[in-house]
Amino acid sequence: MDEPVRIRDVTVLSDDHYVLRRTIFDLKRRDGRWQTMSRETYDRGDGAAILLHDPGRGLVLLTRQFRYPAYVNGHPAPMIEVVAGLLDDRSPQEAIRREAEEEAGCSIGAATHLFDAYMSPGAVTERLSFFVAAYDSARRGAGGGLAGEGEDIEILEMSLDAALAMIGTGEIVDAKTIMLLQWAKLGGLPGAADGG
């Protein structure tokens, strides 16, 4: 089978923190014709996100931190999110364990892989691996992120229903967080589908 894409040229536009490329390519359309196109892609690496829950107390753990791109697009408040981070040459399982420890102070046991998703496939190459794991609040450390990476993370613990209500009020607007909270409500977490 013929490849549907023929790359003509790739130009690196920026290579500061992550890599922005402009690619000129030919795309084979469904009718068999070839069309020349130009697209920019932002490559920041792949990542992982996890919904941490305390089954004994019926709580989920979220974080709150300042996100400059959201700020310049009209969201001045710090973002409420699940724990997440880039893989940085680690497996998704290794990376999410590291992020749970750094951001939330949680040493987690078995993390269950749920699904993978592209968050903005029209421009960003990142693929996220989504996980869920229980944590023990009695054994939770300080967390807060790494100051050397500009992280200043606040930890929030709340019921799943309270978190879901924050989607409706616009307090939670982060896609990965909304996806994991809705997964939990649809029956992913024991007791979540009935409001527990």
Residue 195: pLDDT band by 50, 70, 90 thresholds? very low
Place of tokens 């680690």: 90
Q: What is the pLDDT of residues 113-151, one digit of tens each?
A: 999 999 999 999 999 999 999 998 766 766 776 666 666
Place of tokens 């078995």: 110
Q: 47-188: what CATH class?
A: alpha beta
Share of the chain above pLDDT 70, in %: 90
Checking if the pLDDT of 14 tops 60, the result is: yes
* Mean pLDDT along residues 178-187: 95
Can you give the pLDDT at residue 150?
Answer: 62
DSSP for 23-60, please give it. Answer: EEEEEE-TTS-EEEEEEEEEE---EEEEEEEETTTTEE
106, burial (CB in 10 Å: exposed 0-12, middle 13-18, buried 19+): buried
Can you give the pLDDT at residue 188?
Answer: 77
Listed in order, the ranges of the chain carrying CATH 3.90.79.10 are 47-188
Can you give the pLDDT at residue 192?
Answer: 55
Q: What is the pLDDT of residues 41-85, one digit of tens each?
A: 999 999 999 999 999 899 999 999 998 899 999 988 899 999 999
Q: What is the pLDDT of residues 147-165, one digit of tens each?
A: 666 667 899 999 999 999 9
Checking if the pLDDT of 107 tops 90, the result is: no
H or E segment and range at residue 181:
helix 175-183
* Mean pLDDT along residues 168-184: 97
Coil/strand/helix, residue 155: strand
Residue 2: pLDDT band by 50, 70, 90 thresholds? confident
Task: Quote the pTM value.
Answer: 0.88
Can you give the pLDDT at residue 194?
Answer: 47
